[in-house]
Amino acid sequence: MAHEVTLVNGDGVGPELADAARRCVDATGVDINWDIQEAGIDIMEKTGTPLPDSVMESIKRTRCALKAPITTPVGTGFRSINVHLRQELGLFACVRPCKYYNGVRSFFSSVPVDLVIVRENTEDLYAGIEFEKGEETTGELIDYINKISTDKKIISGRDETGVSIKPISVSGSERIVRYAFEYARANGRKKVSAVHKANIMKYSDGLYLATARKVAEDYPDIEFEDRIVDNMCMQLAQKPELYDVIVLPNLYGDILSDLAAGLVGGLGVAPGMNAGPDGAVFEATHGSAPKYKGLNKVNPTALILSGMLMLRYLKETDAADRLEKAVADVILEGKDVTYDMKPHRDDPTAVGTKEMADVICAKLQ
């Protein structure tokens, strides 16, 4: 029986990566009916929206999507499509494995880094509850904050201050921490580390930490610890091999997932999964890199490995193992890889996006 999967092409280098990942997944022999959808800046010029209704309808129908990168404007323009998809589809858990593959350029090549970031996807500052400077509501919030402050006035006036609100709930915290423990148990992981800043934000991060500690009591077979976020950054830079599954609120998870990706060679080898009770969307951790659009240059590994995670989600374990091995073998050989995976980035023997995918497909066949 064929699996129904939505393939979102994205923009920038997205279409090139989507094609590479789709061909590699197909090369495993798993029968997939791809529903190809367009989203991002390119389709916005035609439809007036970066996220046509057909995209959401398709993902709700298939409950499984492989999504290429989509551009998010900085400071202006439309809000992040990635964030919207996670909130609209209830994809509360972002799972980003960070595993070192022999042959990848990394300062940590001698360290057995193999950890998983589990990031809460729907709450925290990414909920997008913001008030622009000069708004009446902004002024009211500033007045209230200054009123309850035990010190002197701590925030300037409404005409020069923007305000963001950080919601953290018991239910949201319990859900993501429990997901991290269940993931650890299902995948033979031994430890879960909860990351927070509860020493400063006692009523938001403090709530998250208290909830994590309570959930941990239900999993006596798995070691539990907590770390303050800034200390966790230092720990990962010094001794990443000590960590296994790391569970974090939204903002910290976004930041530390990039840090962890850097430990294993960068965003080019960092896959990701966004999961919820009604489905999952698989995507690379990196962005759309529009300056490389059409150049057949960008490393396809992250999206191909995201396809590997998708196969595991679809219970196609053997195919997932074979795809991961094919990718690992190509990286180890170091011949048919993109420029960023060569010892020198100007190496003339580097291949393009398509060519690296071709070799991975050949390994599978």
Catalytic residue numbers read 126, 197, 230, 254
Residues 68, 53: Cα–Cα separation, whole Å = 17
CA distance to 225, 245, 249, per residue, from 242 (Å): 12, 10, 21
DSSP, collapsed to helix, strand or coil, labels residue 105 as: coil
Burial of 53 from C-beta contacts in 10 A (0-12 / 13-18 / 19+) = exposed
Q: Indicate if the alpha-carbon torsion angle 336, 340, 345, 346 is positive or negative.
A: positive
Residues 322, 330: Cα–Cα separation, whole Å = 12
Residues 301, 306: Cα–Cα separation, whole Å = 8
Smallest CA-to-CA distance from 97 within 81, 110, 115, 109 is with 115
Residues 299, 20: Cα–Cα separation, whole Å = 10
CA distance to 55, 102, 117, per residue, from 273 (Å): 18, 23, 10
- The answer to whether 357 and 24 have CB atoms below 8 angstroms apart is yes
Q: How many CA atoms lie within 13 A of 345 on its CB side?
A: 4
